Amino acid sequence: RLRQSLLGRLPGLSNARRLLSAPPSGMPPDDEKPMFPGSRSSFTTQLDFIHPENFEGIPVYRLVNRRGDLVDGAPEPTLAGNKDLCLQVYETMLQLNIMDKILYDSQRQGRISFYMTSFGEEGIVANAAALNPNDLVFCQYRESGVLMQRGMELERFMDQCYSNDSDINRGRQMPVHYGSKDHSFVTVSSPLATQMPQASGAAYAFKRMQNGLCVVCYFGDGSASEGDAHAALNFAATLDCPVMFVCRNNGYAISTPTSDQYRGDGIAIRGPAFGIPTVRVDGNDVFALYEVTQQARQLCLTEMRPTLIEMMTYRLGHHSTSDDSSAYRSVDELSFWDREDNPIIRMRKFLTKRGWWSDEQETATKQAIRKRVLQKFAQAEKRLKPNPMEMFSDVWARMPPRLRQQMEDTRRHLEAETSHYPELKNYKPVADVE
Amino acid sequence: CRSLAARLGPVCLDAASFSRRRLSFGPQFVYTPESADKSLGETSRMNLFQAVTSALDNTLANDPSAVVFGEDVAFGGVFRCTVGLKDKYGKDRVFNTPLSEQGIVGFAIGHAVAGATTVAEIQFGDYIFPAFDQIANEASKYRYRSGNHFNCGSLTVRAPIGAVGHGALYHSQSPEGFFAHLPGIKVVIPRGPIQAKGLLLACINDPDPCFYFEPKILYRSAVEDVPVNGYVLPIGKAEVLIEGSDVTLIGYGTQVHVLREVARLAQSELGVSCELIDMRTILPFDEETVYASVCKTGRCLIAHEAPLTGGFGAELAASVQEHCFLNLEAPVRRVAGHDTPFPHIFENFYLPHQRRCLAAIKDLIGY
């Protein structure tokens, strides 16, 4: 009110306004720099729209090419300096691939209800190898490689797919909805991108806890269109959350190609728009992926802010067992990526050229893996399903009386009508739970 | 007898600046202050928003992991529920978020998953819907779907709800009905400052994600002597506020005060003795107290501001008739907002007005 009354009395109102709302001393009064809240650019008299199609696009970071050779002028990759880790990463990718083949086939045979493969995207194992095992992971659904790299036992994957009595999730979720607190891997949920703002929030808590860890959040090119994705990036940036966002841009969201998903330069271009340090990487080059992940993690933790990695890759498999991708993409396209450009084939070429791998080792290792997987598979298949009353626990921390009544009514019903529920023989005995 | 200003209640707080032709809108009630248990110690005069601040203050003081955030929370909040907290506890613990309800709740869920106490504010219950996916598909299912490996139990989401006299479609809604349908969460609605503080602290300490809806018209109009220290009131327990023999009146939030007046009028105009129950918790709701009361009185009237069809009253009515059928003298009645969006100038005719409730009681008695 004082300012307003002063303005009213002084002659030359516009001069007075400038004086009274003058920027801090040292800045010229006549607008050479915009003073709007948050402004940081300059004025221009050149009327130019930014035409996004004129922008060449953020480059793809790559160290080793499709032939398995280090690109001319590329620095020696960190991962390549560790033979044991290289072989462990490679064998884990092979195991993921073989387990996927066996479980996919088991769905076609009617043994499990549903499955999703990671074909073409096994490189995610290299990304996981560069993390701290206690970095909290939020994922979408095609990141089993992360869980496998972290040491989740083969039978745990199968138990979940079979919804049997050893399933961590207690038989409550569809296959591939893995989760394990021991592996710092938050349980998968079907809705897309919901995990993203959660990752921002968890990272904020980690920052306050000063535990030296970051949060890693995986999502796909399709999920990046969801509102939650934008909220997640904006919150992470404004609230300085140490979360590494990793987008698996594999070209498709079920049948929707990326050309129908977005018009801008992929997902990477959105990072800087939100104020997030960003890199685009060849997701089929495990060496580049490892490098980028290490750097991103370092940035997250030293600067306490988010990072965005867009890993470019290709989804070799169908979206899921409920999909037949021949309906929307050509065999030629598929066979190119299958033969020439996927993480397994490219790493195999590099390792072979280094003298760290051979065709004999390839055959022997695959055989051993297959035998191991089939053995665990047979065990998982034999296990009984959980006691049906486990359907009622963990809804709330403690079962409320109304739900307990429903449980008791259900138990009594099943006991009275056992002969009409022959499937009960595949379950643990029906018994009330806490 | 009460003065005109008191009878008109909160809508007349700033009546002095308006002409005499100004209409009075909003729930018609007089707030009856309650007193806290003496054992809870020293009290201070607080209205409902101050009681909320007090609960948050206690929480931030005793739990280093606790944070409070939402739109405009840092300067004190549009309803002043967080005044002073940022200065006292720091901007890393009391902070503004960008304008995104789905972001606020998603972020809050993750923060709770990491194990930290999280109190998120949604500025108006009318704006909670962008967060509904996070609430329905994530928060409520987190523990169940992970085999109890993960949970977001340390989450509490607060939002103001209910009629305020002029809020119309988007500043008056009562969304509790949508949330009553989500196994895995808890839904709590206080009726006054003492209740508000105890129930909010109970929500914050509860091992499940809680949704705590504050009747906004009570923020300033409900004033009591509230204990300054922390205390909890039970979640999942309704409260019988008035004992009676002829009709059970069931409500929650602001409507409890309207029903108090209805009970008084039922006695004076109809000679009918009403028992008044405040549900306090919508989910999981206290069946025992409700059934015991209706089995005793034989008549049940449920009143809520939210629209009639599919409202929480429908669940109560179905459950009451199932459990009290043989004791009922009349069908279970509901007096609720109409099946319309919440209107502006028609608010008085929309709400479950005391005269509509009284008319329903007349029907119940004469059935």
Kindly report, residue by residue over A187-206, the tens digit of the pLDDT: 999 999 999 999 999 999 99
- B45: Cβ contacts below 8 Å, ≥ 6 apart: B223, B224, B225, B226
Tokens 């050893």 sit on residue: A166
Q: How far is A406 from chain B (nearest CA, A)?
A: 13
From the list A169, A180, A238, which residue is nearest B145 (CB)? Answer: A169
Helix, strand, coil shares, percent, chain B, to 5 = 40, 20, 40
Hey, what are B268's tokens? 């004076």
Q: How far is B249 from chain A (nearest CA, A)?
A: 22
- The pLDDT, as a whole number, for residue B17 is 47
Question: Is B322 among the residues known to form the active site?
Answer: no
- A375: Cβ contacts below 8 Å, ≥ 6 apart: none
Q: Which residues of B touch A203 (CB under 8 A)?
A: 110
Q: How far is CA A327 from the centre of its chain?
A: 26
- The pLDDT, as a whole number, for residue B234 is 98
- The pLDDT, as a whole number, for residue A28 is 57
- The pLDDT, as a whole number, for residue B188 is 99
Q: Which residue of A has its CA nearest to B116?
A: A205
Q: Does B144 touch chain A (CB under 8 A)?
A: yes
The full DSSP string for B160-223 is EES--SS-GGGSS--THHHHTT-TT-EEE--SSHHHHHHHHHHHHHSSS-EEEEEETTHHHH-E
CB contact under 8 A, B103 and A179: no
Identify residue A232 by its one-letter amino acid code.
A
- Residue B11 to residue B1: CA distance in whole angstroms: 19
- Residue A284 to residue A120: CA distance in whole angstroms: 8
Q: B329-353: buried (b, 16+ CB within 10 Å) or exposed (e) per residue? A: eeebbbbbbeeeebeeeebbebbbb
Mean pLDDT computed over A350-373: 98
Taking residue B90's Cβ as centre, other Cβ atoms within 10 Å add up to 12
- The pLDDT, as a whole number, for residue A7 is 43
Hey, what are A48's tokens? 């130019």
Taking residue A295's Cβ as centre, other Cβ atoms within 10 Å add up to 17
CB contact under 8 A, A201 and B207: no
Domain extents in chain A: 57-382, 388-426
pLDDT band at A24 (very low <50, low <70, confident <90, very high): low
- Domains annotated for chain B, with CATH where assigned, are 38-227 (3.40.50.970), 239-366 (3.40.50.920)
Task: Choose among B167, B336, B360: nearest CA to B252.
Answer: B336
From the list A199, A206, A394, which residue is nearest B147 (CB)? Answer: A394
Tokens 């022959």 sit on residue: A422
Task: Choose among B57, B61, B62, B79: nearest CA to B70.
Answer: B79
Catalytic residue among B71, B101, B138, B176: B101
Catalytic residue among B71, B111, B121, B171: B171
- Residue A71 to residue B228: CA distance in whole angstroms: 69
Strands (DSSP E) contained in A143-282 are 215-220, 243-249, 252-253, 256-257, 278-282
- The pLDDT, as a whole number, for residue A29 is 60
Question: Is B224 among the residues known to form the active site?
Answer: no
Q: Which residues of A touch B97 (CB under 8 A)?
A: 235, 238-239
Q: How far is B185 from chain A (nearest CA, A)?
A: 7
pLDDT band at A30 (very low <50, low <70, confident <90, very high): low
From the list A191, A208, A235, which residue is nearest B92 (CB)? Answer: A208
Q: How far is B192 from chain A (nearest CA, A)?
A: 26
- Residue A96 to residue A348: CA distance in whole angstroms: 15
Sign of CA dihedral A243, A244, A250, A251: positive
Task: Choose among A132, A369, A397: nearest CA to B140.
Answer: A397
Hey, what are A199's tokens? 């990752």
CB contact under 8 A, B134 and A231: no
Question: CA angle at residue A286 from A282 to A287, to 5 degrees?
Answer: 95
- The pLDDT, as a whole number, for residue A4 is 46
- Residue A154 to residue A246: CA distance in whole angstroms: 25
CB pairs under 8 A between A and B: 162
Could you report the predicted ipTM of this complex, rounded to two decimals?
0.93
- The pLDDT, as a whole number, for residue A343 is 98
pLDDT in tens, A100-119: 999 999 999 999 999 999 99
Residue A94 · residue A361 · CB < 8 Å: no
Hey, what are B325's tokens? 């059928």
User: In A251-316, where does DSSP find H-type helix?
Assistant: 258-261, 270-274, 286-303
Tell me, what DSSP letter sits at residue B173?
A: -
Q: Does B183 touch chain A (CB under 8 A)?
A: yes
Residue stretches of chain B with pLDDT short of 50 = 1-3, 5-9, 11-20
Q: Does B110 touch chain A (CB under 8 A)?
A: yes
Q: Which residue of B has its CA nearest to A198?
A: B110
Q: Which of residues 185-244 of B touch A (CB under 8 A)?
A: 186, 207-208, 236
CB contact under 8 A, B287 and A402: yes
Residue A100 · residue A117 · CB < 8 Å: yes
Residue A68 · residue A352 · CB < 8 Å: yes
pLDDT of residue A218 exceeding 80, the answer is: yes
3-state secondary structure of A331: helix
pLDDT band at A233 (very low <50, low <70, confident <90, very high): very high
- A57-382, superfamily in CATH? Thiamin diphosphate (ThDP)-binding fold, Pyr/PP domains (3.40.50.970)
